């Protein structure tokens, strides 16, 4: 606690505006920490603090610029005179569907999200994305019926909703991309054979004895066993299988 205070005192203070009110905050802080420094307490709009949950999307303007900038509050460092607000949730319609009833055809995506065809290819969605996802490109891929491409292009999406906030066609892009990734995972990607074998082994009780043994180990023995475990080598390649499964 004392150390944190020392850093705060040393850092130069700069003025920023949080939801219209001016504050002096250390220039080294992220927007999220600056907001807390200014006295706000996060109840919503804060999740992982690591740039992966998408809960902290923020829009801001800088002095002398007409541009609306955007970023994640937990990743973006404050700048002097930044005029900002957080939008932890952006309303966008999500279609409801029973996933098991889908078959993975592009027409199903069209039916669930006919808004796709309202896209005018302005690319505002890609420009605003804090993860640099080419949002317009995955929407274009879906319009062509290429669900796999859409799933791959949108892989880094963290569902923050900033794309939907800027869309003049009023698409809920991030929800559509989520459907594409689900379909890709379930229907378009080949099933992992080794996973089937592993599930069958578990169901046959092959690991029951090991599990029972683990449950009675003391903490030191558990640590030792964990450290000595066989791990997949970083360069193992697709052919690698655990020693105990060789010959099965
Ligand atoms: S808090 Fe999760 S992305 Fe910022």
The single-letter DSSP state of residue 245 is: G
pTM over 0.85: no
For domain 11-86, give the CATH number: 3.10.20.30
- What atom in ligand 1 is closest to the CA of residue 47? 1
Name the residue at shortest CA distance from atom 3 of ligand 1: 51
CA 58 to CA 47: how far, in whole Å? 14
Q: Is 52 in the pocket of ligand 1 (CB under 6 A)?
A: yes
The per-residue b/e assignment along 112-139, b for 16 or more CB within 10 angstroms, e otherwise, is bbebbeebeeeebbbbbbbbebbbbbbb
Q: Is 55 in the pocket of ligand 1 (CB under 6 A)?
A: yes
Tell me the two tokens of residue 137. Answer: 């490109």
Q: Is 69 in the pocket of ligand 1 (CB under 6 A)?
A: no
Spell out the per-residue pLDDT of the chain, length 248, in tens: 344 555 555 789 999 999 999 999 999 999 999 999 999 999 888 899 999 999 999 999 999 999 999 999 999 999 999 999 998 888 899 999 999 999 999 999 999 999 999 999 999 999 999 999 999 999 999 999 999 999 999 999 999 999 999 999 999 999 999 999 999 999 999 888 878 888 998 999 999 999 999 999 999 999 999 999 988 888 767 777 778 777 66
Q: Is 31 in the pocket of ligand 1 (CB under 6 A)?
A: no
- What atom in ligand 1 is closest to the CA of residue 52? 3
Cβ-contact 81, 17 below 8 angstroms: yes
CA 86 to CA 45: how far, in whole Å? 7
Boundaries of every domain in the chain: 11-86, 99-188
Chain position carrying tokens 């998408």:
54
Q: Is 188 in the pocket of ligand 1 (CB under 6 A)?
A: no
Rounded to the nearest angstrom, the distance between the alpha carbon of 105 and the centre of ligand 1 is 33
Instruction: Pick the closest to residue 173 from 102, 119, 132, 130 (CA basis).
Output: 119
Rounded to the nearest angstrom, the distance between the alpha carbon of 126 and the centre of ligand 1 is 19
Chain position carrying tokens 């996802």:
133
Q: Is 51 in the pocket of ligand 1 (CB under 6 A)?
A: yes
As its CATH architecture, domain 99-188 has: Orthogonal Bundle (1.10)
Sequence-ordered list of residues with C-beta below 8 angstroms from that of 31, at least 6 positions apart, any chain? 56, 58, 60, 71, 73, 74, 76, 77, 78, 82, 84, 86
């Amino acid at each position: 606690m004392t150390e944190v205070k020392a850093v705060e005192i040393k850092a130069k203070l700069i003025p920023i505006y949080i939801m219209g009110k001016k504050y002096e905050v250390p220039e080294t802080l992220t927007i999220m920490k600056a907001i807390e420094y200014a006295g706000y307490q996060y109840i919503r709009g804060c999740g992982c603090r690591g740039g992966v949950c998408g809960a902290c999307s923020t829009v801001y303007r800088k002095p002398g610029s007409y541009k609306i900038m955007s970023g994640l509050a937990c990743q973006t460092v404050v700048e002097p005179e930044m005029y900002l607000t957080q939008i932890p949730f952006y309303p966008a319609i999500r279609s409801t569907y029973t996933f098991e009833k889908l078959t993975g055809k592009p027409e199903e995506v069209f039916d669930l999200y006919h808004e796709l065809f309202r896209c005018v290819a302005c690319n505002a969605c890609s420009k605003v994305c804090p993860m640099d996802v080419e949002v317009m490109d995955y929407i274009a891929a879906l319009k062509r019926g290429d669900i796999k491409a859409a799933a791959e292009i949108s892989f880094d999406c963290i569902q923050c909703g900033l794309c939907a906030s800027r869309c003049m066609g009023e698409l809920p892009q991030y929800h559509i991309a989520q459907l594409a990734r689900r379909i890709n995972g379930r229907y378009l990607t080949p099933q992992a054979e080794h996973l089937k074998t592993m599930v069958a082994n578990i169901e046959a009780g092959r690991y029951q004895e090991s599990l029972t043994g683990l449950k009675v180990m003391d903490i030191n023995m558990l640590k030792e066993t964990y450290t000595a475990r066989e791990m997949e080598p970083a360069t193992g390649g697709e052919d690698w299988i655990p020693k105990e499964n060789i010959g099965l």
